[in-house]
Structure 1
Amino acid sequence: MSKVAGGKHVRRSERQWRALLARFEQSAMTVSAFCQREGICTASFYRWRRLLGEADIGDRLIRPADHSPGFVDLGALSSTGADRLELTLDLGGGLVLHLVRG
């Protein structure tokens, strides 16, 4: 719900929130300025944007064939290869994991 100048709360439907969010996208305004102009609470704005965004994502679920797998099986290491194995993983944020076998 949102407050208007008279202090009354206004209950908006999902359709009205979708229209508000669409107007915001076209406005090139900050969330704070837009909410002040429209007379809505920024917390309500963020809540509805999250709720409707999650609903939109649910409508566009990615099919398994449309994305790459999170894990790629590279097979087993050959036992006839070198005895020494080095693996370095850059985990981001300056964190590097370096594993050595052999």
Structure 2
Amino acid sequence: MAGANKGKGSRRSRQEWRSLLAKFDGSGLGVAAFCRREAISAASLYRWRGLLSAVGNDGRTEVVSKTAAFVDVGALSAAAPRIDLKLDLGDGLVLHLVRR
């Protein structure tokens, strides 16, 4: 088994996780199948993928902005024509805004 050399409770280094993530990227497997094969938890895979994606090539952690970009589209004049806006939020939820 590929993950047999690491026992339960053992810790992998950053380099070992980088190698595992590169192996995952090239495996063509889904997360569950890959984690079963390598005897690791999916939560650990997701955690390390997030941690290492924020690290630059020089090994230093980059600052990653968690705020979404905001686009100011300006204000509408009072005489603006009718506006009908629908936003599909997923899972069948639609936000419908109407200005008459």
Distance across 2 between alignment mates of 1:61 and 1:15: 21
Superposed CA offset, 1:27-69 (max 9, x none) = 001212211221212221122122223446x74869xxxxx86
User: 1:4-83 to 2 correspondence within 5 Å?
Assistant: 4=4, 7-55=7-55, 59=62, 70-73=71-74, 77=77
Q: Which runs of 5+ in 1 are unaligned?
A: 63-67
SS where residue 16 of structure 1 aligns?
helix
User: For residue 65 of structure 1, what is the aligned residue in structure 2?
Assistant: none
SS where residue 29 of structure 1 aligns?
coil
Number of residue equivalences: 87
| TM-score, normalised via structure 1 length | 0.61
Distance across 2 between alignment mates of 1:24 and 1:99: 50
> In terms of Rg, which structure is larger?
1
SS where residue 82 of structure 2 aligns?
strand
Instruction: Give me the CA root mean square deviation.
Output: 3.4
Higher helix share: 1
Q: Which runs of 5+ in 2 are unaligned?
A: none
| TM-score, normalised via structure 2 length | 0.62
Distance across 2 between alignment mates of 1:29 and 1:84: 53
Deviation at 1:18, TM superposition (A): 1.3
